[in-house]
Amino acid sequence: MSIVKEDLLSISPDALAPAATEAKAEAVGVTKASMGGAKCFVSAMLAGAFIGFGGMYFCTFLGDTTMAFGAQRLVGGLCFCLGLCLVLCCGAELFTGNVLMVCAKASKKISLAGLLRNWGIVWVGNLAGSLVALAIIYLSNLQAMNGGAVGEAFVSVAAGKVAAANNDNYLGFDHKISCDVEIPPSHFTNTPPCGRVNLKSHAHPGCQGDFSLVVEGMTREEAQQESSRCLRCDHFGYGSFKGGRNTEW
């Protein structure tokens, strides 16, 4: 049996011009939009599980504290690619890849309803698949490997995705953000609330032959009053910062 040119074209990698790449992305988007709901969901579950297994492999290497930092990240990153390779080889539906379906929508080859339907099914399927992978990993007690170091790596990565401050604390840093401004204390008195300070202007007859500023500046008392009012503002001032009027966070 001889191999013909058409057989080689079916297995050769794509090397397309930009216009051809756009056309193929549109064709793939049309195919994805017309995919059956059950098939799309199962394929999306597989993609979520594959990425979860890639993350598991990555965290397993992070749990080996004897490796150098650079080598640990390099090998871990290569191991994480396992999840992406499984997605590509199996043709699974990953939400980040399906975002390119906007090309088909922009060319009016699929409807908005078809686009959102696919995105919704794939997103939920990716989440379900990742939860299944999580259950398998947890039941296998993988987190207890290397004296619990693998489990600590899981927690560190998760905390780093939630907030960078958590990751700093795990690494031994203790960063604090302070306002570096003395917040004027509240005065609980019966005096009426003060409004903004209105700047005064020179009288028009007095401006002739006078090169000084037309608008007079604030006195020391007026400047303190205005800055106190602004700093205590809950909408635009310090009160709108994270934590309100806390001095540090």
Q: In this predicted model, what pLDDT tens digit does every residue of 200-224 receive, in sequence order?
A: 766 666 556 665 555 667 778 777 7
Q: In this predicted model, what pLDDT tens digit does every residue of 159-177 receive, in sequence order?
A: 767 665 555 565 666 656 5
Class of 16-170 per CATH?
Answer: mainly alpha
Q: In this predicted model, what pLDDT tens digit does every residue of 115-157 receive, in sequence order?
A: 999 999 999 999 999 999 989 988 988 888 888 888 888 887 7
108: left (phi over 0), alpha (psi -120 to 50) or beta: left
Question: Does residue 179 surpass a pLDDT of 70?
Answer: no
Query: What pLDDT was estimated at residue 56?
Result: 87
- Residue 201's DSSP bridge partners are 215
CATH 1.20.1080.10 boundaries in the chain: 16-170
CA–CA separation, 98 and 195 (whole Å): 55
Is 107 exposed, middle or buried (CB count within 10 Å of its CB: 0-12, 13-18, 19+)? middle
Task: Give the range among 69-78, 97-106, 120-129, 225-234 with minimum mean pLDDT.
Answer: 225-234
Query: What pLDDT was estimated at residue 126?
Result: 94
Q: In this predicted model, what pLDDT tens digit does every residue of 22-65 receive, in sequence order?
A: 888 888 889 898 889 899 999 999 999 999 888 888 888 888 77
